[in-house]
Amino acid sequence: MEDLIQKGSHAAPATYYILIQKDGPYLVYGKPPVNQEILTPDATGYSWTYKQGNTIENTEEPIALCRCGQSKHKPCCDGTHTYIEWDSEETAGKEPLLSGAKQFEGPEFILNDNKKYCAVARFCDGYGDIWHLIRKPATDVEKEIIKHQGTHCPSGRLVLVDAKTGEIYEPNLDPSIGILEDPVMKVSGPIWVKGGIRIQSADGSSYEIRNRVALCRCGHSSNKPFCDSTHIKVGFTDEKKKTV
Ligand code: FES
């Protein structure tokens, strides 16, 4: 069966892909760069940019990234998943993200929003939030803010469209992996899969290919393999393990 590709996204070269292991880690193929990326706020206090942190050396292929949240060598897998109890079940559907999205229409932009995929990275919340900003005619400055907010969400929950031309705003992202850190919330965040890397379920089928995807690495999402922001509730960090 042909892979689904989200409108506005492009598939990465086929050498890049992620295999989800049944009851095990994410196996990352193609040696994409893997870097810590730190959510960084602007003066409003809401996320605005990503600051690059440590690089995770990936000389081996595949690199195994922890999915249970309990490896002692996070973000890499150390085999802990084999002797602990954790819920590894993939519960997310394979349908396109946009088919479950709500549409918010304004004079200049249409905002597609599928809340199930929210990683609470808070790029959308500044300046009165993107949902309010798109409702009325926007100044040039506001248009730039709206485009920035709509395209920096790591999970791709928000898909921004030009209301007049139908153009989808997607950032140009090379195939790469970000290990998100969220110092404002004092937690570690999901795995940010960028640039259309295909993700294959443990059942052998693939999820829709998207430019921006946030994969759960705390082990607690109820929409696995995708992050649903539960890492904040459980206080997930790379440093030490906390429980719900
Ligand atoms: S990393 Fe976000 S819910 Fe697990």
Report yes or no on 65 lying in a domain.
yes
How many folded domains does the chain comprise?
Answer: 2
* Atom in ligand 1 nearest the alpha carbon of residue 188: 1
pLDDT tens for residues 61-103? 999 999 999 999 999 999 999 999 999 999 999 999 999 999 9
| pLDDT range class, residue 168, cuts 50, 70, 90 | very high
Band (pLDDT 50/70/90 cuts) for residue 239 is: confident
- Is the CB of 6 inside a 6 Å radius of any atom of ligand 1? no
Atom of ligand 1 nearest to the CA of 221: 3
CB 230 within 8 A of CB 221: yes
Instruction: Give the distance (Å) from ligand 1 centre to CA of residue 158.
Output: 17
* Residue 121, ligand 1, Cβ within 6 A: no
Are 42 and 142 contained in the same domain? no
Decide if 8 is inside a domain: no
DSSP 208: P
Q: 87 and 21, same structural domain?
A: yes
Confidence of residue 136 (pLDDT cuts 50, 70, 90): very high
Q: Report pLDDT for 58.
A: 77
Q: Confidence band (pLDDT; 50, 70, 90) for 105?
A: very high
CB of 75 within 8 A of CB of 58?
A: no
pLDDT tens sequence across 42-53: 999 999 999 999
In-domain check, residue 244: no
- Pair 121, 77 in one domain: no
Together in a domain, 90 and 44: yes
For the CA atoms of 110, 37, 236, 149, the dihedral, rounded to the nearest 10 degrees, stands at -20
Question: Among 66, 220, 224, which residue has the most ligand 1 atoms within 8 Å of its CB, making it the best to mutate?
Answer: 220
Q: What mean pLDDT do residues 218-244 have?
A: 86
Say whether both 135 and 197 belong to one domain.
no
Looking at residue 1, what is its pLDDT?
A: 72
**Domain enclosing residue 162, as ranges:** 102-169
Domain presence at residue 26: yes
The pLDDT assigned to 242 comes to 41
Do 61 and 124 share a domain, yes or no? no
Ligand 1 pocket member 65 (CB < 6 A)? no
Query: What pLDDT is stored for residue 91 in this prediction?
Result: 97
pTM of the model: 0.95
- Please tell me whether residues 76 and 139 are part of one structural domain: no
Judgement on whether residues 28 and 66 belong to the same structural domain of the protein:
yes
Query: What is the distance between the alpha carbons of residues 218 and 241, in angstroms, rounded to a whole number?
Result: 10
Q: Which of 117, 138, 169 is the last residue of a domain?
A: 169
CA 44 to chain centre: 23
Tell me which of 90, 226, 236 to substitute to probe ligand 1's pocket, judged by most ligand atoms within 8 Å of the beta carbon. 236
Last residue of a domain, one of 169, 192, 218: 169
Q: Please state, for a pLDDT cut of 90, what percent of the chain lies above it.
A: 94
Assess whether pLDDT exceeds 80 at residue 224: yes
Cβ within 8 Å of residue 194, ≥6 positions away: 173, 174, 175, 176, 177, 178, 211, 212, 213
**CB contact set of 125 (below 8 Å; sequence gap of 6+):** 46, 47
- Spatial neighbors of 175 by CB under 8 A, at least 6 apart, are 12, 13, 16, 30, 32, 194, 195, 196, 197
Which residue among 91, 182, 226, 231 has the greatest number of ligand 1 atoms within 8 angstroms of its CB, and so is best to mutate? 231
- Find, among 165, 159, 131, the residue nearest to 9 by Cα: 159
